[in-house]
Structure 1
Amino acid sequence: MARFIQTHTSRFNTSPGTTEIEHLGGSSRPCRVWLISWTGDSIHEQEVDDLHGLSSGLDGGEYHWVNITGLEDEASIALLGKEFSLHSLTVEDITNTNHPPKYEAHEKYAFTIMRMLRQAGGEMVSEQVNFILLHRVLLSFQEIPGDVFEAVRNRLRSGRGRVRSSGTAYLQFALMDSLVDNYMLTVEKLGGEIDAMEDDMFSGTDDAPISAIREYTRQITMVRRYVRPVMEMLEQLKKSDQQPLEADLLPFYSDLQDHIRLVNDGVDGYRELLKHQLGMYTALKGYELNEIIKVLTIISTIFIPLSFIAGVYGMNFLHMPELSVPWAYPAVLGGMVLAASTMLILFRRKGWLGGKPKRRARSKRPE
Structure 2
Amino acid sequence: MIEDILSINQRPKMDEVEGVLFCLLNMLFYNDQKKTVETEQISIALGKDFVISFQEDAHRDVFDLLRSRLNMSNSKIRQRTADYLLYSMLDLIVDNYFIVMERLGEQIEMVEEEVIRRSNTKSLARINQLRKELIVLKRNLAPVRDLISGIIRSESDLLDDRTTKYFKDVYDHIMQAYDLGENYRDIVTGMQDLYINNVNLKLNEVMKVMAIVTCLLAPATVIGGIFGMNFEVIPYAHHKWGFYFAVGCMLIIPIWMLWVFRRRGWF
User: Percent identity over the alignment?
Assistant: 28
Contact 2:105 2:184 in 1 (8 A): yes
Residue among 89, 92, 96 paired with 2:7: 96
Deviation string for 1:129-187 (max 9, x for gaps)?
10011222211111113111111111222357522322322111111101100111212
Change (3 A) 1:162 1:149: same
How far off is 1:238 after superposition? 2.1
Instruction: State the alpha-carbon separation in 2 of the partners of residues 202 and 159 from structure 1.
Output: 55
Once the two structures are superposed, the pairs formed by residues 45-124 of structure 1 within 5 Å of their partners are: 90-120=1-31, 121-124=34-37
Task: Give the equivalent residue in structure 2 for 1:24.
Answer: none
Once the two structures are superposed, the pairs formed by residues 240-279 of structure 1 within 5 Å of their partners are: 240-279=154-193
Deviation string for 1:51-81 (max 9, x for gaps)?
xxxxxxxxxxxxxxxxxxxxxxxxxxxxxxx
Contact 1:129 1:141 in 2 (8 A): yes
Instruction: State the alpha-carbon separation in 1 of the partners of residues 259 and 121 from structure 2.
Output: 35
Q: How many residues align?
A: 264
Contact 2:115 2:194 in 1 (8 A): no
Task: Give the equivalent residue in structure 2 for 1:340.
Answer: 254
Change (3 A) 1:205 1:295: closer
Instruction: State the alpha-carbon separation in 1 of the partners of residues 112 and 138 from structure 2.
Output: 21
Q: Does 1:190 align with 2:104?
A: yes
Change (3 A) 1:290 1:328: same
**Letter paired with 1:154:** S
Q: Does 1:125 align with 2:38?
A: yes
RCO comparison, higher one (Cα < 8 Å, 6+)? 2
Deviation string for 1:320-364 (max 9, x for gaps)?
2412321121121111110111112222333333xxxxxxxxxxx
Contact 1:109 1:243 in 2 (8 A): no
Contact 1:200 1:206 in 2 (8 A): no
Task: Give the equivalent residue in structure 2 for 1:225.
Answer: 139
Instruction: State the alpha-carbon separation in 2 of the partners of residues 108 and 258 from structure 1.
Output: 27
Partner SS state of residue 347, structure 1: helix
Q: Does 1:140 align with 2:48?
A: no
Instruction: State the alpha-carbon separation in 2 of the partners of residues 306 and 160 from structure 1.
Output: 94
Contact 1:156 1:163 in 2 (8 A): yes
Uncovered stretches (5+) of structure 2, i.e. residues with no partner: none
Q: What's the TM-score, normalizing by structure 1?
A: 0.69
Instruction: State the alpha-carbon separation in 2 of the partners of residues 151 and 186 from structure 1.
Output: 17
Task: Give the equivalent residue in structure 1 for 2:203.
Answer: 289
How far off is 1:206 after superposition? 5.7
Uncovered stretches (5+) of structure 1, i.e. residues with no partner: 1-89, 354-367
- Structure with bigger helix share is 2
Instruction: State the alpha-carbon separation in 2 of the partners of residues 315 and 170 from structure 1.
Output: 97
Task: Give the equivalent residue in structure 1 for 2:230.
Answer: 316
**Letter paired with 1:280:** L
Change (3 A) 1:161 1:329: farther
Instruction: State the alpha-carbon separation in 2 of the partners of residues 162 and 282 from structure 1.
Output: 54
Partner SS state of residue 51, structure 2: strand
Partner SS state of residue 44, structure 2: strand
Partner SS state of residue 248, structure 2: helix
Task: Give the equivalent residue in structure 1 for 2:117.
Answer: 203
Partner SS state of residue 308, structure 1: helix
Residue among 215, 220, 223 paired with 2:129: 215
Partner SS state of residue 139, structure 1: strand
Contact 2:97 2:177 in 1 (8 A): yes
Instruction: State the alpha-carbon separation in 1 of the partners of residues 261 and 194 from structure 2.
Output: 28
Change (3 A) 1:172 1:108: same
**Letter paired with 1:211:** A
Partner SS state of residue 236, structure 2: helix
Instruction: State the alpha-carbon separation in 2 of the partners of residues 161 and 340 from structure 1.
Output: 86
